[in-house]
Structure 1
């Protein structure tokens, strides 16, 4: 069972200190002012196919509305556990927790547009990282939804979420 919690922005701000490793050419190009990168998570042909994505440049300059992307908040986890995804044809190693989140979020029919700090920010460019980290509150606030990935369901974790949802709806 999938344990995903959708929350409306701007409830989360997650700063991170880990980096990931590119194993082929970099998919990153410089960002124009007022723009961010978003990750297009492509539908898989089948459950066993590799995770394919594309980076797209997106303008956040219209400050009066939310935008049609989801921001993912999650724990980066161990640097030792890495899994491959493909971004614009480039193999990218991401943390195991992010890999599991992407596996659960990808839909076999519909692409998803996501902002994920570990992928959408060029972790090898300190200047870009500094600028993007300062913009993270705005990035989360402008998202149509914030997804809090709590990890895969274990033991009775689904029961705990059901109690939280009932309490939020005033049913307790």
Structure 2
């Protein structure tokens, strides 16, 4: 799936373990979800929350603002992000969400394979893992 083939990721190094983490921004006056990505050396990363969820159907895609660019996410992930912002995931909290933090474009196959191979470590190293089930466009975190 390459919904966001025009989004400009900052590539992760394949020679040293790295992780890309997301932070939500709360300084927006409207209902748009604003977020920022940042790369870290895996050995020197901040505490983060990892999300486990089902991507769900591809359509209708929902748009967030990621580093000032339009970025499409699945309806299930959008539902979680709205709930996370509403229920107060702190603006200082880093998140790891595979659909956003792993470059899913066709041109990033090596990077995606590298990150996929680290997923067990990514979840194991998380300070917290949220599980989110979405049904009838209602997100239910556990």
Q: Output the TM-score relative to the length of structure 2.
A: 0.82
Greater C-alpha radius of gyration: 1
Count of residues in correspondence between the two structures: 134
1:31 alignment partner, one of 12, 16, 24: 12
Match of 1:126 in 2: 109
Query: What residue in structure 1 maps to residue 40 of structure 2?
Result: 58
SS at match of 2:59: coil
Q: Unaligned 5+ residue runs, structure 2?
A: none
1:54 and 1:87 in contact (8 A); partners too: yes
Provide the rounded CA distance (Å) in 1 between the counterparts of 2:134 and 2:41: 30
Give the superposed CA RMSD.
2.6
Task: Report the Cα offset of residue 53 of structure 1.
Answer: 0.4
Q: Distance in 1 between matches of 2:109 and 2:89?
A: 36
- Give the Cα–Cα distance (whole angstroms) in 1 for the partners of residues 72 and 61 of structure 2: 6
Structure 1 residue 29: Cα displacement: 1.6
8 Å CA contact retained: 1:40, 1:54: yes
User: C-alpha separation between the residues in 1 aligned to 2:89 and 2:42?
Assistant: 27
**1:84 has 2:63 as partner:** yes
Asked if 2 retains the 8 angstrom alpha-carbon contact of 1:81 and 1:95, the reply is: yes
> What are structure 1's unaligned runs of at least 5 residues?
1-18, 162-172
CA contact (8 A) 1:67 1:144 kept: no
Provide the residue aligned with 1:144 in structure 2. 127
Under a length normalisation based on structure 1, what TM-score does the superposition of the two structures give?
Answer: 0.69
Contact 1:27 1:87 in 2 (8 A): no
